[in-house]
Amino acid sequence: MSVEITGVGSYIPNVIRKNEDFLNHKFYTPDGQGFDDHPEEIIKKFEAITGIKERRYVEDHLNTSDIGTIAAQKAIENAKIDPESLDYIIVAHNFGNVKHGTTQTDILPSIAARIKQNLGVKNPSAVAYDIIFGCPGWLEGSIQAKAFIDSGIARRCLVVGVETLSRVVDPHDRDSMIYSDGAGATIYEYSENKGHGILSHQSASFTDDEAYYIFFGETNKSKTEDKTGYIKMYGRKIYNFALINVPKAMKSCLEKSGKDISELKKIFIHQANEKMDEAIVQRFYKLYGMEMPDKIMPMSIGKLGNSSVATIPTLYDLFINGHFDDEELKGGDVIMFASVGAGMNINAMIYQL
């Protein structure tokens, strides 16, 4: 038996925010000091490091549960299944619904329960729950879906990764320019097609010194009464952590699969930061004494930004549907999914089409 992806779908918001849209922002350091650099210089450096030229923000009338539903509907349609036949609806996010114009997170009821209701699924045996695992949440949900199917308690699972980070960013923090919104979804099903589907996976949680590398904190702007919590991160610490630990997890995952690195056709890595992602994959190949192959790592961050749990399923959906010129996958190809994020959590998965 195997566990295969039979349907994919995504929702990319229509609101485009380009880098020049941040020229009127006044950025401050974490200790409240204003930057001497002109905003144009800050943005130029930002683009050189992250590769981000623009990002997508959700429309004002939509929430996390809404765009997660749209992606889920597309995946269900792509798989050509009856949503009533779903055994599990697993939704990965980190901040729930944060309505436009508010600062309060709403996860009661869960985002999964809302998506199930939006889909019109009546079957009470279709269990819906949320997973909060940082940026690797969609991938961890996929690993859980495989466990359910392997155990025999499920045959069909929907896994959604969705986030509206634009509503939890500090406009006075340079890091706010990284984040974006989006949703991606996949259907996993039991299959008799041996040797295909999910071949192996690897997960790890580093919660000693690393637990608060990404956290909620107050605005960087000094002398303000704003006590709102915003997403914050220690960028340099995350970069160093990722370069040490993610390649090791990727190597362990590949070895578990029994596949040779020469068989790996594509690596769909969390779209966190272009320079960091390239460095991770380069180090992964160096563990095998190899140089990183050309076009091994499809990237969407330049136009879509970092939408956390939504980046990998969105990227995979775009790739499968031909949005990357002159690049394609065929039956039997071996690919890897890999992610790192808040927690700090890491995971990877080897999949054969």
pLDDT per residue as tens digits for the range 296-350: 999 999 999 999 999 999 999 999 999 998 788 999 999 999 999 999 999 999 9
- Cβ distance 353 to 196 under 8 Å? yes
Number of helices and strands in the chain (H, E):
8, 13
Same domain membership, residue 271 and residue 169: no
Same domain membership, residue 204 and residue 127: no
Same domain membership, residue 85 and residue 226: no
Higher pLDDT, 60 or 29: 60
DSSP label of 109: S
Quick one: pLDDT band at residue 187, thresholds 50, 70, 90?
Answer: very high
Share of the chain above pLDDT 70, in %: 99
- Assess whether pLDDT exceeds 80 at residue 20: yes
Identify the pLDDT of residue 266.
98
Same domain membership, residue 183 and residue 39: yes
Which residues constitute the domain of residue 237? 198-352
Both structure tokens of 49: 């490091």
Both structure tokens of 312: 């990998």
pLDDT, one tens digit per residue, over 97-117 is 999 988 789 999 999 999 999
Quick one: pLDDT band at residue 1, thresholds 50, 70, 90?
Answer: confident
Q: Give the integer Cα–Cα distance in Å for 72 and 311.
A: 15
Same domain membership, residue 258 and residue 297: yes
Longest dimension (CA), the chain: 63
DSSP label of 41: H
Give the residue from 257, 248, 280, 262 showing the smallest Cα distance to 351: 257
Same domain membership, residue 221 and residue 179: no
Same domain membership, residue 153 and residue 63: yes
- Give me the number of domains the chain comprises: 2
CA dihedral 58, 59, 60, 61 (to 10 degrees): -110
CATH of the domain at 121: 3.40.47.10
Sole residue written with tokens 């690993």: 143
Same domain membership, residue 246 and residue 341: yes
pTM for this predicted structure:
0.95
Same domain membership, residue 223 and residue 285: yes
